[in-house]
């Protein structure tokens, strides 16, 4: 088989388009546009866990390490490997030494933190689940540190992620913000309070507490679930929405009460890019995307702290639309500049091959 110029290593690239998948697809398209005729191919190393193991991807990764390492042979003769996702560490560590690697670290899952934000029996079940998987978590983290050291270029999607990478393996990462859509003008303000996602990690309990404390306001939660449990009557449950104008239309304020350290928080920039202010947890990469301390909740695990911050945020949201829209425009220009620098670095790896880590 003729090797491709660029081998893209990812698990869910063609199956589920999350923020990380969307971003790396965009980078691949830009690289191909800058270098016409560049041949690209995608591999997941043959990673396809049996149905009974789908809830346990780290177990499947450990059991299929030999198969994954063998899949790295596809990179033989390639001029560049671009890697991201759970399968990346095992494959990167098995790549032929001459092949340059750009490792995109855009998700903290399983690597930097794995909290338990459930309650009741679900909390006990998750604690037992985490204890059972701990050896596999340790194996994955060890392989991931090795992969970060092996990579010629590490790309982070926020300063927060770059700092975590530096703390993990003393590597500097190139910060490249994902490009998020920015409307030409802010959307017309509405009176709804919006939220995307409803899981415990996303802060589902927080939005319920807010809805109960402010019964005269209407909340709209977009979720992939057909129904939600224990939802106050002033909460509108809406299907998951990809179109930004429909996701953010009619909103006065967007909530991001994340209970985990989001690597970037794409929704925050998208909402502001459409003129909707965001009240967000002051954790992870979110503070970088939300201008002004009045829009960040430092004690983000406390429902009472959210209740205290919510009232002023809702009152001032209507007059802040132009300000947050301008902020999103600035961040989009930053992202454009960073993407140009990234394409230059990737092109240099294609043209000149591997570099010493100290020169990266």
Confidence of residue 100 (pLDDT cuts 50, 70, 90): very high
Mean pLDDT, all residues of the chain: 88
Confidence of residue 15 (pLDDT cuts 50, 70, 90): very low
Section 293-303 average pLDDT: 95
Instruction: Give me the pLDDT at residue 18, please.
Output: 59
My answer on whether 221 and 137 are in the same domain is no
338 found inside a domain: no
Residue 120, domain CATH: 3.40.50
| Token pair recorded at residue 227 | 């129904």
47 found inside a domain: yes
Q: Which of 112-126, 224-238, 285-299, 333-347 has the lowest mean pLDDT?
A: 112-126
CB-based contact 314:217 (threshold 8 Å): yes
Q: Counting beta carbons within 10 angstroms of the beta carbon of residue 304, is it exposed (0 to 12), middle (13 to 18) or buried (19 or more)?
A: exposed
pLDDT digits (tens, 9 = 90+) for 30-42: 998 989 889 988 8
Beta carbons within 8 Å of 135's beta carbon, 6+ residues apart: none
Question: In total, how many domains does the chain have?
Answer: 2
For the cut 50, the answer to whether the pLDDT of residue 242 exceeds it is yes
| Token pair recorded at residue 266 | 């794409």
My answer on whether 157 and 11 are in the same domain is yes
My answer on whether 123 and 229 are in the same domain is no
The number of angstroms, rounded, from the C-alpha of 156 to the middle of its chain's C-alpha atoms is 10
Residue 55 three-state SS: coil
My answer on whether 272 and 142 are in the same domain is no
Residue 218, domain CATH: 3.40.50.2000
| Residue range(s) defining the domain that contains residue 314 | 192-328
Confidence of residue 358 (pLDDT cuts 50, 70, 90): very low
74 found inside a domain: yes
| Token pair recorded at residue 246 | 């429909």
My answer on whether 164 and 308 are in the same domain is no
261 found inside a domain: yes
Q: Which of 31-45, 48-62, 273-287 has the lowest mean pLDDT?
A: 48-62
My answer on whether 138 and 232 are in the same domain is no
My answer on whether 163 and 201 are in the same domain is no
Q: pTM of this prediction?
A: 0.88
Residue 156 three-state SS: strand
277 found inside a domain: yes
């Amino acid at each position: 088989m003729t090797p491709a110029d660029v081998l893209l290593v990812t698990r869910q690239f063609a199956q589920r388009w999350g923020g990380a998948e969307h971003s790396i697809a965009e980078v691949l398209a830009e690289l191909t546009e800058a270098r016409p005729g560049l041949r690209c191919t995608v591999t997941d190393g043959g990673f396809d866990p049996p149905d009974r193991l789908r809830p346990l991807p780290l177990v499947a990764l450990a059991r299929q390490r030999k198969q994954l390492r063998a899949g790295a042979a596809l990179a033989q003769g390639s001029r560049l490997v671009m890697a991201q996702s759970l399968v990346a560490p095992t494959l990167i560590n098995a790549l032929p030494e001459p092949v340059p690697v750009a490792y995109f670290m855009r998700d903290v899952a399983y690597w930097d933190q794995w909290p338990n934000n459930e309650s009741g029996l679900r909390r006990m079940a998750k604690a037992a689940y985490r204890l059972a998987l701990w050896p596999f978590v340790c194996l994955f983290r060890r392989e991931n540190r090795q992969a970060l050291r092996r990579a010629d270029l590490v790309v982070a999607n926020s300063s927060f992620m770059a700092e975590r990478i530096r703390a993990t393996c003393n590597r500097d990462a190139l910060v490249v913000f994902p490009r998020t859509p920015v409307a030409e003008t802010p959307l017309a303000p509405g009176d709804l309070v919006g939220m995307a996602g409803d899981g415990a990690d996303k802060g589902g309990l927080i939005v319920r507490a807010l809805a109960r404390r402010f019964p005269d306001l209407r909340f709209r939660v977009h979720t992939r679930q057909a129904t939600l449990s224990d939802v106050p009557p002033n909460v509108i449950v809406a299907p998951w929405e990809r179109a930004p104008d429909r996701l953010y239309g009619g909103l006065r304020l967007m909530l991001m009460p994340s209970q985990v350290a989001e690597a970037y928080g794409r929704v925050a920039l998208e909402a502001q890019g459409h003129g909707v202010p965001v009240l967000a947890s002051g954790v992870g990469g979110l503070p970088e995307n939300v201008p002004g301390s009045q829009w960040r909740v430092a004690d983000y695990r406390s429902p009472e702290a959210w209740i205290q911050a919510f009232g002023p945020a809702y009152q001032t949201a209507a007059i802040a639309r132009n300000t947050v829209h301008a902020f999103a425009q600035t961040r989009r220009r930053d992202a454009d500049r960073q993407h140009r620098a990234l394409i230059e670095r990737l092109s240099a790896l294609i043209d000149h091959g591997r570099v010493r880590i100290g020169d990266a």
